[in-house]
Amino acid sequence: MAEQIKLVALDLDGTLVEHGGKVVTPRLIEAVKEAKKQEVDVVIATGRHRTTSLSIAETLEVDHLITLNGGEVWTTRGELLLRQSIQHDDVEKIISQFERLDSHFWLVSDQGVFQRQLPDNYQEHEWIKFGFDILDEKLRDEAARYFSAIQTLELTNSSPTNIEINKRGTHKRQAIEYLLESRHLDFSQVMAVGDSMNDIKMIEHAGFGVAMGNAQAEVKEKARFVTTRFDEDGAALAIEKMLSGDF
Enzyme catalytic residues: 11
How far is the C-alpha of 136 from the C-alpha of 101, rounded, in Å? 10
Instruction: Name the residue among 83, 78, 154, 155 with its Cα closest to residue 125.
Output: 83
Give the CB-side neighbour count of residue 201, counting CA atoms within 13 A.
Answer: 19
In the chain, beta strands by DSSP E:
7-10, 41-45, 64-67, 72-75, 80-83, 104-109, 112-115, 127-133, 153-156, 162-167, 190-194, 208-211, 225-226
How far is the C-alpha of 233 from the C-alpha of 26, rounded, in Å? 10
* Residue type (1 letter), 127: W
Instruction: Name the residue among 173, 100, 182 with its Cα closest to residue 142.
Output: 100
